[in-house]
Amino acid sequence: MRAARGSFQIGSFRGIPVRVHFSLLLVLPLLAFLFGGAFQRAAEVAEVPPERLSGSPALWGLVVALGLFASVFIHELAHTVYALRRGGRVRSITLMMVGGVSELTEAPPRPRDEALMAAVGPLTSILLAVLLGGATWLLQEVRSFNLQFAFFYMASLNLFLGVFNLLPAFPMDGGRIVRASLAGRLGMVRATQVASWLGRGFAVLFGVWAVLSLNPFLVVIAFFIFMGAQGEAQQVRMKMTLERVPVADLMTPRRVGVDAGASLEQALWDLRRARLLLLPVTEDERPVGQVSLETVRAVPDSERMTRTVREVMVPAVVVRLDEDGWTALRRMAEEERPQLVVVEADGVLAGTLDVNDVQRGMALYQAREERSGQQDRRWRQERPA
């Protein structure tokens, strides 16, 4: 749900941020080196005389590496467009060292739509490979060696990108198709567990292959698939649990916030007394904003007695008592806020909710479920036949 840490925005699509992860900047020179090293062999396969190509192998390696990530972006864009058309909500698109990820805050509602959303990315890459391959064939007649080589190389990479992503290695696209096909019979949690086991199995195979072939890049891919499969399974379990738990059972009760008209000196005292970095700002018992310790400390000491909380507060992100925990956590991620303000039906402050509250509440809820399950099993065992 959260945007990948260590990423920066380079643009947007329909208001959706497009980000580049710093890991991409690290792997780009490596890919350029690898593609440049394969320059001679690639030219022979493309039936292009290497001496007729402009530029050095290193420059061609860099161009092809950039072209690969442009292809990954198109691949992720296909996922995004389909998700939006089917009622999903996409928070951002991030290009990383092992590909890309479209971060969904809300997936399409039906498993069939999730399967099609997963399939549309690889199919787009394969279609792009066919189009580039056709352009390569046409360029053979005009003897445009530079374009012919570039199109052939990109067609080959897009074909690999499409076929590789169709492998049933969750959380890759093929694994998501498997998960969606099993969800109707097994339920989402069980289907995710099966797909996660399959993904981790493929990750182990990739790791063994990487060691035998001395391929460090394949080791990285194996690691990301293994961790991604495990993380996706944990997130689905969290989602299914939190959808059954109301915010009222997770929050920290808090009937009093920092008064909007109070001085910043008073706000500093309230924050220190509560031992919190963020507190709700209230007016007539209703939240109107939030104030952070960092913001208050940024104001010079000499001005804190004369300036009010209203001047520095930020708008509050509100969640109701009767909303479920997953809705609250998703809102926290969408708004990029570490804390939500919880209100009653009439808008009066009821408490606050942060990630620590959610984790603590989940642990208590799961412990109660385990105790209940153990008691049920014990009762069935002790009951006379």
A 10 A CB-CB count for 272 gives 11
What is the distance between the alpha carbons of residues 124 and 173, in angstroms, rounded to a whole number? 12
**Is 21 one of the annotated binding-site residues?**
no
Catalytic residue among 47, 76, 311, 382: 76
CA distances from 137 to 152, 155, 253 (A): 9, 11, 69
Structure tokens given for 282: 């209230």
**Is 79 one of the annotated binding-site residues?**
yes
Q: Which of 54, 127, 116, 131 is closest to 83 using CA atoms? A: 116
DSSP letters of 191-211? HHHHHHHHHHHHHHHHHHHHH
Name the DSSP class of 14: T
What is the distance between the alpha carbons of residues 49 and 40, in angstroms, rounded to a whole number? 9
Annotated active-site residue 334? The verdict is no
A 10 A CB-CB count for 199 gives 29
What is the distance between the alpha carbons of residues 63 and 66, in angstroms, rounded to a whole number? 5
Q: Give the residue numbers annotated as catalytic, written as ranges.
A: 76
Binding residues for Zn(2+): 75, 79, 173
Annotated binding site: 75, 79, 173
